[in-house]
Structure 1
Amino acid sequence: MSTPTAINEEYDIVIAGGGTAACVVAGRLAVADANLRILLLEAGPTTYDNPAHTLPLNIMCHLAPGSRTTRAHISQPSAALGGRTTIVPCGQCLGGGGSINFMMYTRPSASDFDDWETVYQNPGWGSKDLIPLLKKIETYQVPGGGPTHGTDGPLAVSPGGYFTDLGKQFLQVARILDPDRAQKPDDTDSNDLETINVYTVGVFRRWINAKTGTRSDVPHNMIYQLKDTRPNLHFLTGVHVKHVTFDDENRATGVAYALNPLLHPEGPGDTRTVRGTKLVLVSAGAFGSPGILERSGIGTKDVLDSVGVRQRVDLPGVGENYQDHSVLFIQYFAADEAQSLAAIFRNEEGAIDTAAAEFGMTRKDVSMHNAVDAGIKWRPKPSEVAELGPEFQEYWDSYFANAPDKPVLWMGISSSFVGDPTGAPPRKYYTLGFYNQYPLARGHVHIMHADDVSAPTDFVPGFFESQAEVRPLTWGYKFLREIARRMPHFRGEPPMLHPKFAPSGPASIIAHAEGPVPFDAPRIVYSEDDERALEEFARAQVGTCWHSLGTCAMKPCEQGGVVDARLNVYGVHGLKVADLSVPPGNVSANTYGTALVIGEKAAVIIAEDLGIKGVV
């Protein structure tokens, strides 16, 4: 492996994008065939041995203004959000989102993958096919891992550094507050894909290696260590892939690229090309992959005509079907003695050492924590379905009712401050977050410039255009608020970070509380005015969970698909897409694990196509 400043003119495989799935494909194929010449082109910087990527507790630096490891996509204003835009930061570094994310280890429900196979007509993509690949990628460092977990894969899964008292309180209260639905032990595995784990109240596993205390990402565990053994694998960072090149028979022959001006302020220089004789693989994510296709003339005519790109293939699904998990993060004041990592997330000097001393932990224990301890996969009871309104009832009947393993909400605690801290006093906090697992929202991502990769996109996330998406989140706010105010470390609410309820009403009473209420305290009753205030707040605050997917969907062309079950782009030859742009439907999980299994499956498919042994 090398990182040449001057790359070769020709490779067997050229991979446009260097995120999670791309790195899995490159690593697996390079090891399987030492003679296969592979080039990986990434827009962002390398991540090698950089503490910002390797140390788990450094996660927030990637969301700070001016970050060089993310690219922010700003949506069109949305009437459903009161005219507000949405900002979605995406990983832009070698490893992509898997090298900057919160390291949450969650797997989809089995029916999510089964839907890919049956509903969207993709043979070989069901849960029975993908579980072996999920096992292949992981070393499960958790005692009692079942048969669906791996023991010798390149990426480690562990409980992380420690478990905060705030996380323990969240678990305790959640189990007491709704005991008839929370009978499973706290260590129940909600990621085995064999049992139905909805309303599972439990602790989280993390993509963190318990032995080294470092993030488990693909570059550090599948790419960088090939330097001396696989000189056939090259990667080049800091370059933008502009478009795919083709011959007269619509066969992909390579890509055109230029320097990324963010990392090369001396200027992008001339556009260069590199040939891919056997395959061009586009793997630039839910935002990047449709852009590369559209700049290559693959997409709907209206979009291409608007920017002056000659259409090569009429493929209306390119850039459509955008999906995310719509999320709210709600902050609460914590007691001075709470094991909160808020000071570390504020980047206060010496905060890690102070926390280690205060919590009786080692510095390593604190450093390998991501502050997310526990959570709930929630599926409503019949009475709660009715509470969520007629729009949700219709959605429930058509989608959830016959899929008992599909939860409606994820809810969890972060022992920190997650969100914009502007105006919030510097003290201890905890945050309760919750997102729609299968929101109805469908948006799009399209190019607005024929050649400039850095140009803004025409981006519409589609959040909250249906009440069936709004009502679960307003329900989640009320339910988690009941948990929050019963936790022993509860010390009230930051008023500026909660809905503006009527000052004299019961919904506003806990804003000024100085401590928790008893477990048997009556639940808060919300008036119609309170419900309106809560919905207004939700529309003003809802945002991305950084789980963008679906914009080059793997489904039949006539249904808006972009790639087939072999990941081939319709209408051309020698061109595949493999990343989070290909899932045709959403998944009830943080999406890193899904990106990994897409990479593993893509490596198997490509190896089969090229007759390469050893990738199974």
Structure 2
Amino acid sequence: MTIPHTIEAEYDLIFAGGGTAACVTAGRLATAFPDLSILVLERGATTKDKKEHIQPGQCITHLAPTSKTMEFNISKPSEHVAGRSSVVPCGRCVGGGSSVNFMMYNRPAASDFDAWEAEFGNVGWSSKDLIPLLQKAETYEIDPKKSTHGSDGPLKVSFASEISDLAKEFVEIGAKFEKNRPETDEGNALNVESINKFFIMPKWISKDGRRSDVPHAYIYNNPAKKLSVFDGTLVHRVIIEDGVAVGVEYQFDNRVHESAPQDIRVVKARKLVVVAAGAMSSPLILERSGLGAKVVLEKAGVAVVAELAGVGENYQDHTLTIAPYIVDEKIKTLNPLWRGEPAAWGQALTEWENGGAGIMGTNYIDGLIKMRPYPEELPELGPDFLEIWNSTLANNPDKPLFWMSTAAAMLGDLAALPKLNFMCSAVLLGYPASRGRIHISSSDPLAAPDFEAGFLSSPADVAALRWAYKKGREINRRLPSFRGVFFAGHPQFPEGSAALVEETAPVSLDAPKIVYSAEDDKAIDLYIRQVVVTAWHSCGTCAMKPLDKGGVVDSKLSVYGVKKLKVVDLSIMPSNVNSNTYSAAVAIAEKAAVIIAEELGGSV
């Protein structure tokens, strides 16, 4: 047996988890406090200088069933998703989601952050506090002087190596067809000006075609000599003595280090333990540590240290539907690359080596609109939708209902599909009313969790996605490159339905809209339940809110009832945000660095 890392007996700070948030916070603190010994324990593998993490065009490879960079969490089957089990992937590697996601730069609404302070009492977490931290983290290579963006941060944002022609069509035609939804050059200003506008979406990709992930930005080039990031180290639990977190138990993960010994080891923390394993794993670490609902812990055979009923509850995500369309063969897409065609790979790799050029330097998910119904459109959504409208959207004009993007590729298993040139229209629901939960099933850290995703358990979510499907189809059938609906990936409308129109060329801007019957709506609803999936945006399972309202951490990210223990990742979000959650994770982590630095008597 070979010991992969030499881990000392004691460090000042220990991070249980080495994903997006952990890398940002640990990196900031290591720079600000070079004499502080900081340990980051990540269960997955290192990502340093690995092409599959650096090259944007390889993002789809991380979703392969054989992927070693992802953890696939399988929920209980649910009638709400047509009896299926939902599979929720999360990053299992240094950098977490930032190292494997699709790099979509889509930021929240200011009111999302404001709600964390106003509704949940988290002083210091409003948009005026967090927007400067987002600016601090980024270099907005498109226009560094643009309001709310950053000019000298470690994370790069650009339009990547190139913009797809399909995205340009989507933005131009969408704005012409949806006459009250114009085109803009700024869809991420975090305000109402970014709502109901078509725009080309930036990416967490540098202009030289490299993924902008947190380990390469905050960790790997950090000169701090006392910052240690070790891969393949699986944290079992936090050790708590007399109400104080004093260290963690861990073992080397043989999924990363096959010949490593499998004994349980202990490392102590002099000042602080930070659980930062993500929304899917942080609650499980807390529960294995004896922190959670008594009924859950006793069932799993774990002694109760502090009863926290909110641990593992409040699971949220952005539900996603993907509708495929056929486009002109002349249109450049990622399909050949994602099918694994050798010639496409050879050309793409050669181009990328020349300054990050070509399709390997992008994700080709470019066109976007953050769509919100206007008052006159509300009847189209029906009465079920009122739950979302009244609770979340009506009084917050900077919040969209969903965001719709166009991808010059097929986001799915291309091997099972005919060799056509696909594009797809992806819809992510911004504020689903549905909730789920995740809990341990035993004290074994390798045991599958007891997971209920909760997707579409609220009829409001189905109503919203039904309207989104109709909106997307009308826009996409008008694109100049449109060559037909790939009906195998669409609702199975009844025979004779007007929605079965088989078009093989685009219709005019003023062509009549498709009329859907009540039976067609039922077909769409069934389709949505059959195809809806996660957007990988898990959050909320260790919520930052009052203890008597199901909170797990306070506004300083300290776990209730335990000293010297914090949680820092997307699990602390008390409510959802309108964004691909990379930006939210960065904001949380930058804020955590500020909080911890102040408690240490300094600043970052």
Residue in structure 2 matched with residue 216 of structure 1 by the alignment: 212
Q: How far, CA to CA, are the matches of 2:311 and 2:126 in structure 1?
A: 24
Q: How far, CA to CA, are the matches of 2:176 and 2:99 in structure 1?
A: 37
Deviation at 1:420, TM superposition (A): 2.9
Contact 1:424-1:494 within 8 A present in 2 as well: no
Q: Which residue, out of 479, 484, 491, partners 2:483?
A: 491
Q: Say whether 1:18 aligns with 2:18.
A: yes
Q: How far, CA to CA, are the matches of 1:495 and 1:282 in structure 2?
A: 45
Q: How far, CA to CA, are the matches of 2:81 and 2:414 in structure 1?
A: 21
Deviation at 1:159, TM superposition (A): 1.0
Q: Which residue, out of 446, 451, 457, partners 1:454?
A: 446
Q: How far, CA to CA, are the matches of 1:486 and 1:194 in structure 2?
A: 29
Q: How far, CA to CA, are the matches of 1:267 and 1:230 in structure 2?
A: 27
Q: How far, CA to CA, are the matches of 2:368 and 2:560 in structure 1?
A: 40
Contact 1:379-1:406 within 8 A present in 2 as well: yes
Residue in structure 2 matched with residue 569 of structure 1 by the alignment: 559
Q: How many residues align?
A: 601
Deviation at 1:235, TM superposition (A): 1.3
Q: Which residue, out of 402, 413, 429, partners 1:436?
A: 429
Q: How far, CA to CA, are the matches of 1:277 and 1:319 in structure 2?
A: 27
Q: Say whether 1:110 aligns with 2:110.
A: yes
Q: Residue by residue, what CA displacement relative to the aligned partner does 1:351-380 show, whole Å, maximum 9, x if unpaired?
A: 14557999xx98723221111011110010
Q: Which residue, out of 327, 345, 348, partners 2:341?
A: 348
Residue in structure 2 matched with residue 199 of structure 1 by the alignment: 196
Q: Which residue, out of 370, 392, 401, partners 2:385?
A: 392
Q: Residue by residue, what CA displacement relative to the aligned partner does 1:42-67 show, whole Å, maximum 9, x if unpaired?
A: 00000010000001111011001110
Deviation at 1:495, TM superposition (A): 2.5
Deviation at 1:79, TM superposition (A): 1.4
DSSP-derived class of the 1:221 partner: helix
DSSP-derived class of the 1:205 partner: coil
Q: How far, CA to CA, are the matches of 2:33 and 2:49 in structure 1?
A: 27
Deviation at 1:86, TM superposition (A): 0.1
Amino acid at match of 1:384: E
CA distance 1:362–1:416, change in 2 (3 Å):
farther
Contact 1:43-1:238 within 8 A present in 2 as well: yes
Contact 2:236-2:250 within 8 A present in 1 as well: yes
The CA RMSD measured in Å over matched residues stands at: 1.8
Q: Say whether 1:237 aligns with 2:231.
A: yes
Q: After alignment, is 3-12 or 197-206 more displaced?
A: 3-12
Residue in structure 1 matched with residue 69 of structure 2 by the alignment: 69
DSSP-derived class of the 1:104 partner: coil
Contact 1:73-1:88 within 8 A present in 2 as well: yes
DSSP-derived class of the 2:274 partner: strand
Residue in structure 2 matched with residue 263 of structure 1 by the alignment: 256
Q: Report sequence identity in percent.
A: 47
Q: How far, CA to CA, are the matches of 2:308 and 2:540 in structure 1?
A: 15
Deviation at 1:9, TM superposition (A): 0.4
Q: How far, CA to CA, are the matches of 1:208 and 1:268 in structure 2?
A: 38
Matches within 5 A, 1:442-591: 442-450=435-443, 452-510=444-502, 513-591=503-581
Q: Residue by residue, what CA displacement relative to the aligned partner does 1:56-108 show, whole Å, maximum 9, x if unpaired?
A: 11101100111010000000011111211100010010000001101111110
Contact 2:43-2:234 within 8 A present in 1 as well: yes
Q: How far, CA to CA, are the matches of 1:190 and 1:324 in structure 2?
A: 22
Q: Residue by residue, what CA displacement relative to the aligned partner does 1:467-513 show, whole Å, maximum 9, x if unpaired?
A: 11001111111111111111111111222211111232210113xx2
Q: Say whether 1:190 aligns with 2:183.
A: no
Amino acid at match of 2:204: W
DSSP-derived class of the 2:425 partner: strand
Amino acid at match of 2:218: M
Contact 1:553-1:582 within 8 A present in 2 as well: yes
Q: How far, CA to CA, are the matches of 1:208 and 1:363 in structure 2?
A: 10
DSSP-derived class of the 2:414 partner: coil
Q: How far, CA to CA, are the matches of 2:462 and 2:34 in structure 1?
A: 52
Residue in structure 1 matched with residue 41 of structure 2 by the alignment: 41
Amino acid at match of 1:62: H
Q: Which residue, out of 248, 252, 271, partners 1:278?
A: 271
Q: How far, CA to CA, are the matches of 1:216 and 1:144 in structure 2?
A: 16
Contact 2:210-2:356 within 8 A present in 1 as well: no
Q: How far, CA to CA, are the matches of 1:473 and 1:395 in structure 2?
A: 12
Deviation at 1:549, TM superposition (A): 0.3
Residue in structure 1 matched with residue 332 of structure 2 by the alignment: 339
DSSP-derived class of the 2:215 partner: helix
Amino acid at match of 1:429: F
Contact 1:286-1:549 within 8 A present in 2 as well: yes
Q: How far, CA to CA, are the matches of 1:357 and 1:225 in structure 2?
A: 26
Deviation at 1:321, TM superposition (A): 0.3
Q: How far, CA to CA, are the matches of 1:444 and 1:293 in structure 2?
A: 14
Q: How far, CA to CA, are the matches of 1:195 and 1:545 in structure 2?
A: 24
Q: How far, CA to CA, are the matches of 1:195 and 1:483 in structure 2?
A: 23
Q: How far, CA to CA, are the matches of 1:294 and 1:355 in structure 2?
A: 46
Deviation at 1:423, TM superposition (A): 3.2
What TM-score results when the alignment is normalised by the length of structure 2?
0.97
Residue in structure 1 matched with residue 159 of structure 2 by the alignment: 159
Q: How far, CA to CA, are the matches of 1:330 and 1:263 in structure 2?
A: 36
Q: How far, CA to CA, are the matches of 1:529 and 1:239 in structure 2?
A: 53
Amino acid at match of 2:307: D
Q: How far, CA to CA, are the matches of 2:275 and 2:144 in structure 1?
A: 38
Q: Which residue, out of 390, 393, 396, partners 1:403?
A: 396
Q: Say whether 1:609 aligns with 2:599.
A: yes
Q: Which residue, out of 303, 312, 317, partners 1:324?
A: 317
Gaps of 5+ in 1: none
Contact 1:341-1:355 within 8 A present in 2 as well: no
DSSP-derived class of the 2:484 partner: coil
Deviation at 1:397, TM superposition (A): 2.2
DSSP-derived class of the 1:481 partner: helix
Gaps of 5+ in 2: none
Amino acid at match of 1:186: T
Q: After alignment, is 567-576 or 342-351 more displaced?
A: 342-351
Deviation at 1:195, TM superposition (A): 4.5
Q: Say whether 1:371 aligns with 2:364.
A: yes
Matches within 5 A, 1:305-324: 305-324=298-317
Contact 1:352-1:363 within 8 A present in 2 as well: no
Q: How far, CA to CA, are the matches of 1:128 and 1:465 in structure 2?
A: 34
Deviation at 1:520, TM superposition (A): 1.3
Amino acid at match of 2:543: A
Residue in structure 2 matched with residue 180 of structure 1 by the alignment: 180
Residue in structure 2 matched with residue 304 of structure 1 by the alignment: 297
Amino acid at match of 2:313: E
Deviation at 1:461, TM superposition (A): 1.3
Amino acid at match of 2:335: A
Amino acid at match of 1:373: D
Q: How far, CA to CA, are the matches of 2:304 and 2:518 in structure 1?
A: 52
Contact 1:4-1:235 within 8 A present in 2 as well: no
Contact 2:209-2:355 within 8 A present in 1 as well: no
Contact 1:17-1:283 within 8 A present in 2 as well: yes
DSSP-derived class of the 1:320 partner: coil
Q: How far, CA to CA, are the matches of 1:505 and 1:343 in structure 2?
A: 34
Q: Say whether 1:412 aligns with 2:405.
A: yes
Q: Which residue, out of 590, 593, 597, partners 2:587?
A: 597
Q: How far, CA to CA, are the matches of 1:97 and 1:492 in structure 2?
A: 34
